[in-house]
A and B are shown apart, each in its own frame.
Chain A
Amino acid sequence: MEYSIQNLQFLLDGALVTIELWLVSVIFSFIFAVPVAIVRNNKTPVLGKVLTIFTNIIRGTPLMLQLYTVYFAIPILLGMGMGSFLSASIAMIISGTAYMNEIIRVGIRSVEKWQYDAAQALGLNYWQTMLYIVLPQAFSRSVAGIGNEIVSRLYSIPLIAVLGMDELLKNAKVIVVRTFDFTPFLIIAIFYYLFNTLILKIVNSYEKRLTKFKLAENQ
């Protein structure tokens, strides 16, 4: 009995690391992705190009390489060490920002030019137009893609084991190797499934809210 509780505690510790890292990654990726998408879409000469190159490099290289780079190379360059969690967070945020800004950028680009015209004709400035007209519609058009990205962030987290971190899948594997009992895999499979279902439910309800105006059209 005590043995099972210890294992469950071990799994729970891993789950907490997974959820913490997932939350940090998703929240900060989104926060950074929005301005990056706006600048890229705005065709700001130098900065826009730099951000496009950044996005292409990150999307074109494996996350594991990015984890190694942040964990090993950045401390050498800066002359100071970084903990595993901070390294993993930075790498996950960089990767998430690259993928999410691309999704949001396409959403922004899909908003028709006449809506900018209408906003300008009413006297709205560029940022008011972005904030009140363009971004809400860009999100509503890209919410499915953002939802997928949020879910796939969760599946990327087991890679942080390469930095020696104890996340959920790694802890389950440790128990299985030690006990030859596959129950922990079943437990974490259920956890992943339920967690994903919850995320998708939240994303779907948010999508419904954002696309209320489209639903009204069919009434």
Chain B
Amino acid sequence: MIKLKKVNKTFQDKLILNNVDLEIAKGTIVSIIGPSGAGKTTLLRCIKQLERIDQGLIVINDFDVTGQGGQLERAQILMKIGYVFQEFNLFPNKTIWENLELPLRLVSKTAKAEREFIITKQLEEFGILAKKNDYPSQLSGGQKQRVAIARALVMKPEVMLFDEPTSALDQDLKKQVLDLIRQLSETKNLTTIIVTHELQFAREISDAIVYLDKGTIIDQGSAKEVIG
């Protein structure tokens, strides 16, 4: 369960998030829609703690990740939140294998044999095992995205955050991503939050939709209620 209570965030005196209250139930897929500059990506970044909020609370699994206490518990909770960036953000100087191995080796301190098993399985599942020694620059947009998702998944997340997952993809790939996110949510019981500006995509994939404008939640509910 993810709860946001009266979250405010400003950048250089400009209010980006304004008293955002939101509750996301475990295992659901929620899309955040809204015009450019509405604060959608900032909201996602605040949940992952890539940005510090100015006021309010963000509670994940009953733990306040915005508070000062329990740094170890905070780190463990944040480790279970996977983040897939709009531009994938794969490290250009690391091979696909190394991109996936880095968090397992340095963050979760997974043993070498287990790392190899997890990465091989994940790459195989996504059909990109043959690319394991390639660098990100050698991959297509769709392959990069699968690597970015795989990199988040090897950490066995309970929550997945996707920032504009379809913006860099063509129609065929959008369909594939939609199927993939849906399948992940179902098979791994992931809580999924997707920032998107594509209404059709949001309608097809979401259990609930949040409409954000100028940092304020204008509407939220089922796809039918919000988009119509």
Contacts and interface: CB of A to CB of B under 8 A. Distances in A.
Contact of A124 (B48, B107, B151): B107
Given A115-B91, A128-B106, A121 B134 contact: no
Contacts of A204: none
B138 interface: yes
A123 B138 CA distance: 26
Interface string A121-146: 11110001000110011001000000
Nearest to A115: B91
A169 to B, nearest CB: 40
B142 interface: no
Nearest to A118: B89
A123 B87 contact: no
Contact of A123 (B79, B90, B95, B137): B79
A140 B93 contact: yes
B107 A121 contact: no
B221 interface: no
Interface centre among B89, B91, B93 (most CB of A within 10 A): B93
Interface centre among B48, B92, B134 (most CB of A within 10 A): B92
Given A123-B103, A123-B155, A140-B93, A117 B87 contact: no
Given A123-B79, A136-B93, A117 B50 contact: yes
Contacts of A128: 106
A211 B168 CA distance: 26
Interface in A24-77: none
Interface centre among B106, B107, B138, B151 (most CB of A within 10 A): B106
Contact of B85 (A121, A124, A217): A121
Nearest to B106: A128
Contacts, number: 61
B135 interface: yes
B98 to A, nearest CB: 9
B128 interface: no
Nearest to B82: A121
A136 B98 CA distance: 14
Contact of A121 (B83, B95, B137): B83
Given A115-B89, A118-B89, A140-B93, A124 B103 contact: yes
Nearest to B104: A122
B106 A213 contact: no
B137 to A, nearest CB: 4
A180 interface: no
A1 interface: no
Contacts of B155: 122-123
Contacts of A118: 85, 89-91
A214 B93 CA distance: 8
A219 interface: yes
B102 interface: yes
Interface string B60-92: 000000000000000100110001010101111
Interface of A: 114-115, 117-124, 128, 132-133, 136-137, 140, 212-214, 216-217, 219
26 contacts: A117-B85, A118-B89, A118-B91, A120-B50, A121-B48, A121-B89, A122-B102, A122-B103, A123-B103, A123-B107, A123-B108, A123-B155, A124-B102, A124-B106, A124-B107, A132-B102, A136-B93, A213-B93, A213-B94, A213-B95, A213-B137, A216-B134, A216-B137, A217-B135, A217-B138, A219-B138
Nearest first, the 8 A-B pairs at minimum CB distance are A118-B89, A217-B137, A123-B107, A122-B103, A121-B83, A213-B135, A216-B135, A213-B93
